Amino acid sequence: MKRKKSVGEYLAFICVKYDVDTDRLFCALLSAGENGNAKCGPLSVMCRDKKRGRVVFLITKKSKVVAQLATSEEFLSQEGNPIRKFMETDIVRRHMAKKLKNVGSCSIEHLKVGMNHINLKAKVLEVSNPRQVSTRYGNYASLAKALIGDETGEIKLALWNDQIDAVSAGDTVQIENARISAFRGERQITLGKNGNISNIEKLNSKMIPADFQ
C-alpha cells in the first residue's frame, strides 16, 4: 500500500513539473489565501474554501486542472518557505531524473523553417527588453527575443508573457515541442501553445518524480 504524499511533497512536485520557483508558488498560495486568486508563472492559484484551520486551493494551467489540495493554516504560516525542504524527497528526485532523461537533443545548425516538435538544449546568450505588441486576436501581449546558442550555431527564440521571466542571459535551457518559423527572413524558435521551456540549472539544483498521480 502506497504512502499518501504530504501536501509539501505535492507542492514540491508541482514546482518541478511546471518549472515554477518554490518561493513564487508559496507566495502565490499566501496571496490567493488572502485575495482569492494569484498567478504563479504559467499557473493560476485559486482559494476555494477556508474552514476549521484548513485552506483548499485549486491550481490550474490555462483551463487544465493541475491540482486541488487542502493545506493547514499552520503550514502556510511557517517561517520561511516550507516547500523547500521537500525538494529532496524521492518523488521529486525520480520525476526530475525522468524529465532530464527524456529530453531530446537537436543541433541548431540542423533546424529548418517548418520543422515541428523540436527538442533542444541551448545556452541563453542575451534577452531583449520586452515590448507590447498587438496579436492577431486583437489583444496585447509582451514579447521578447532571446538569442540562444549551442556548439553548432545561434538562433532567436520568441518569448511571450510569462515565458520572459523564465530565463535570463547565462541560463542553460531545455526547449521542448517547439517549431521553427521565419520572421523577416530569419529563422526563429517559437513555443506555441504546446511548447515548453525549462531552466536546466534549476532542475539540476532540485532533483523530482515518477508521476505524482
Structural domains of the chain, ranges and CATH numbers in brackets: 7-87 (no CATH), 100-205 (2.40.50.140)
In this prediction, residues 147-157 reach a mean pLDDT of 92
Rounded percentage of the chain residues whose pLDDT exceeds 70: 86
Q: What is the pLDDT of residue 1?
A: 45
Report the DSSP pairing between strands 131-134 and 118-127: unpaired
Cβ(60)–Cβ(32) below 8 Å: no
What one-character DSSP code corresponds to residue 165? G
Contacts for 198 with CB less than 8 Å, ≥ 6 apart: 19, 99, 173, 174, 176
pTM above 0.75, yes or no: no
**Strand residue runs (E) in the chain:** 37-40, 43-51, 54-61, 64-72, 118-127, 131-134, 140-150, 153-160, 172-183, 186-190, 196-199
Closest CA to 202 of 11, 44, 20, 9: 20
Q: Quick check: 165 pLDDT over 90? A: no
Contacts for 136 with CB less than 8 Å, ≥ 6 apart: none
> Which residue(s) pair with 183 in the sheet?
186
Confidence grade of residue 75 (pLDDT, cut at 50, 70, 90): very high
Angle CA(170)–CA(195)–CA(68) in degrees, nearest 5? 100
Structure confidence by residue, pLDDT tens digits, 30-48: 999 999 999 998 899 999 9
